[in-house]
A and B are shown apart, each in its own frame.
Chain A
Amino acid sequence: EVQLVESGGGLVKPGGSLRLSCAASGIAFNDAWMAWVRQAPGKGLEWVGRIKSKIDGPTTDYAAPVKGRFTISRDESMNTLYLQMSSLKTEDTAVYYCTTVLGNPPSYYYYYMGVWGKGTTVTVSS
């Protein structure tokens, strides 16, 4: 069974930093494109950023609101995805979900979020 388990959320002051982790099991993590998606309280889904598989890069792309402040990385030896968040703002308060990013033959256009973790809550407040 594919499972993604996020951890590391909590309460942090504006300007502070936090690192989220996502432990993956049941998937070929080395080959997986991964992403972070967040959801502010009472709001919709917002893509945060994506990292390609190690074999495809592993390059990263970020949404404009977090670019330059957030960094996604991965550790294949631990089957773990990370989201390093710095210079946090109150508007970063959200549930953060870890997801796989999938695509299908023949194009292998990786765009949809196949598996989701349960999420971890980040609250930025003084």
Chain B
Amino acid sequence: EMVLTQSPATLSLSPGERATLSCRSRQSVSSYLAWYQQKPGQAPRLLIYDASYRATGVPARFRGSGSGTDFTLTISSLEPEDFAVYYCQLRSDWMYTFGQGTKLEIK
């Protein structure tokens, strides 16, 4: 069973600071990894696909990187609207797996 481990579980930062979120898989998935943002009461929103490509309309301050088993989502300078929960996700065979999420909260 493929497992995705996100760290940290919670990240407390202030607006303007840089956020670094990690996602690690047990097996290599090449670059087939996506990131989502979810705000309270809303559906998730695709941010990044293929590890580093921003989805339509996603600001340039969001950057995805990594390949193989280790991936990172970096938000260069936090805006108030960026405080949310972030999930990574991949597919292994015909199973689709999400990480447990990182909650990015205002310090």
Contact residues of A with B, CB < 8 Å? Answer: 35, 37, 44-47, 50, 61, 63, 97, 101-102, 104, 109-119
C-alpha gap A35/B34 in the complex (Å): 15
Contact B44 A45 (CB under 8 A): yes
Contact A114 B91 (CB under 8 A): no
Given A111-B32, A113-B44, A44 contacting B101 (CB threshold 8 A): yes
Contact B94 A113 (CB under 8 A): no
Number of residues of chain B lying within 8 A (CB) of chain A: 24
C-alpha gap A113/B89 in the complex (Å): 9
Among A47, A102, A109, A118, contact of B95 (Cβ-Cβ < 8 Å): A47
Among A37, A63, A97, A111, contact of B91 (Cβ-Cβ < 8 Å): A111
Contact A102 B49 (CB under 8 A): yes
Closest to B29 in A: A111
In the complex, how many angstroms separate the beta carbon of B11 from the nearest chain A beta carbon? Answer: 16
In the complex, how many angstroms separate the beta carbon of A10 from the nearest chain B beta carbon? Answer: 19
C-alpha gap A80/B87 in the complex (Å): 27
Mostly, the B contact residues are strand
C-alpha gap A63/B94 in the complex (Å): 9
New contact pairs (5) apart from A45-B89, A47-B96, A111-B90, CB-CB < 8 Å: A45-B101, A47-B95, A50-B96, A61-B94, A117-B43
Contact A111 B87 (CB under 8 A): no
Contact A97 B44 (CB under 8 A): yes
Residues of chain B from 42 to 71 with CB closer than 8 A to chain A in the complex: 42-46, 49-50, 55
In the complex, how many angstroms separate the beta carbon of A67 from the nearest chain B beta carbon? Answer: 11
- Please name 9 pairs of A and B residues whose Cβ atoms are closer than 8 Å in the assembled complex, sorted by A: A35-B96, A44-B101, A47-B98, A101-B96, A113-B44, A114-B55, A116-B45, A118-B43, A119-B43
B101 cross-chain contacts in A, Cβ below 8 A: 44-45
Contact A47 B44 (CB under 8 A): no
